[in-house]
Amino acid sequence: MTDFTPPPPSPLLIVISGPSGVGKDTVLQRLKERDLPLHFVVTATTRPPRPGERDGVDYFFVSREAFERMIAEDELLEHALVYGQYKGIPKAQVRAALASGKDVIMRIDVQGAATIRRICPEALLIFLTAEDEETLLHRLRQRHTESEEALRLRLATAKQELAQMSTFDYVVINREYALEETIDTIIAIIEAEHHRVPHRKVTL
């Protein structure tokens, strides 16, 4: 009897990206709460923690000297200087998670996503955005973490990042008061990719 069962899919390297204020952190937190078989990458950063953020959970908060040492020793999958602060993904963490067979999901900025695409063409890139500029600005203001000048800079950067949308595999609009719909869409994308022919085979 012929066996029509396809081979199991390789684990995915999933990138969630998009401009500041679209809700990337909120989306990842809700995905965690869904208790899915995903490994959530923790980003290293030199910025100070915001209220409620925990070291090793939300980010690895490191000194600038420690971060620059990781750059020099090639210990980062990607890194960037964003608004005067470094952010980057430790290589060892991603490789270990993929080796365990789990899909790996990371939240990085648009510049970082371009780096991942270059070094890992089989990564699955999802661009998260708001429905319009007004909504994006409103969300940034709600954070109460930046001055008006800093908000204008973030909005200008967001417009530049939106121009990179076509370089991603999927675009998901994170609409106001529709978080669960956003999460369901992302899960559906991941599920569809597991049935893709040929499978994405990530190598780092």
Residue 139 a catalytic site member: no
From the list 128, 109, 143, the residue with the least C-alpha distance to 183 is: 128
Is residue 162 classed as helix, strand or coil in its secondary structure?
helix
Active-site residue, from 64, 69, 141, 143 = 143
Cβ atoms 17, 109 nearer than 8 A: yes
CA 187/CA 190 separation, integer angstroms: 5
Which member of 50, 69, 152, 196 is catalytic? 50
Q: Which of 107, 139, 154, 200 is flagged as catalytic?
A: 154
Task: Let me know if 143 is a catalytic residue.
Answer: yes
| Residue 64 annotated among the catalytic residues of the structure | no
The residue written with tokens 């980003």 in the block is 43
**E-assigned strands of the chain?**
13-17, 38-40, 43-45, 59-61, 76-82, 85-90, 103-107, 124-129, 170-173
Contacts of 171 (CB under 8 A, 6+ apart): 126, 127, 129, 165
Find tokens 């992302």 and name the residue. 186
For 146, other C-beta atoms within 10 Å of its C-beta total 15
Phi, psi torsion values for 179, nearest 5 degrees: -60, -45
Cite the active site residues.
50, 143, 154
